[in-house]
Amino acid sequence: MKRRDFILKGIGAGVAAGAAFSMTGYNRVFGQATSNPPSEGYDLVAVRGGQPGPMFDRAIQSLGGMSKFVKDGQKVVVKPNIGWDTVPERAANTNPELIGRIVKHCLDAGAKEVYVFDNTCDEWTKCYKNSGIEQAAKDAGAKIAPGNTENYYVQVDIPGAKSLTQAKVHELILDSDVFINVPVLKNHGSAKMSIAMKNLMGVVWDRRYWHRNDLHQCIADYCLFHKKPQLNVVDAYRVMMRNGPRGVSVEDVVRMDSLLVSQDIVAVDAAATKLWGDEPENIPYIRIAEEMDLGTMDLASLNIDRIKM
């Protein structure tokens, strides 16, 4: 019963995601033709100068509201980065206020239920608690789900992958109708940058496999999996500039007061990399992902809504 559900939903989501992607392609072509925002909407929204919640309000409004992504009665999963047992000021995890606001938008759009989870690096109950995300998500009406043991993960194939041909993916990713990826922008010792694509490493069980088998290729490979995030929201309110992904102290963190939103996971990673002060070409997995046609890092070709608050 469960498996059948999963397959049916999987096919549905695959079609939806495929449709979303062809839309992005269309927009890109359209965007080159005109400097004004097309009626179909923007490819990417960048907001600067506000608080996490209000910045998201503006961004999602620019994309036509959350109801474009979340329909009545749907099950939504919001996946922040909750990897570390650190406080929000350390910026190792996604901003809790942002998570709360996204959850609220989903429920206002008619979501039946919203789940929040991550496969953490530090002990998970401490991460959920000290990141402030558990409280913020619950206050906004979301349900907190664990990702701490292997039996929450289901083995899937990733057709077309070079290194990561199989992975164990969290059941909520497979079961939900809408998947919203909410990474925090930060420096990363091994992947160089941790943004949207890297954040998906937290929906799978065996991360050691990625580390053993060409990390950059695996990060790009996972983006081939059919359950793609419908929305990528990059938290760049506080940004860890060194010692990532965990960070050592608040000295590693700067305020950027920024937020990026896009359906194109490669584009949003490219834009965030530039925000951080690097070039997307320097990040191997972004380059690989573009070569694999998972999105574009050519930001000039996109319709970007730049909002100052």
Binding site for other proteins (CB under 8 A): 46, 48-49, 85-86, 113, 121-123, 125-126, 130, 143-146, 148-152, 188-191, 207-209, 211-216, 239, 241-246, 248-249, 251-256, 258, 270-271, 274-277, 299, 304, 306, 308
One-letter amino acid for residue 295 of the chain: G
Six token digits for residue 251:
């000295």
Q: Which residue has the tokens 């000039």?
A: 300
Instruction: Say how far apart CA 107 and CA 104 lie, in whole Å.
Output: 5
φ and ψ of 52, to 5 deg = -55, -45
Q: How far is CA 214 from CA 69, 98, 108, 290, in A?
A: 33, 32, 41, 17
| 129: three-class secondary structure by DSSP | helix
Could you give the CA distance from residue 255 to residue 24 in angstroms, rounded to a whole number? Answer: 31
DSSP H or E run through 193: strand 192-194
> The tokens of 183 are what?
């990474």
- Closest CB 269 distance from other proteins, rounded Å: 12
Looking at residue 252, its amino acid is: D
Report which residue type is found at 135.
Q
Handedness of CA 150, 153, 154, 158 (dihedral sign): negative
Cα–Cα nearest to 95, from 201, 226, 237: 237
CB of 105 to other proteins, least distance (A): 22
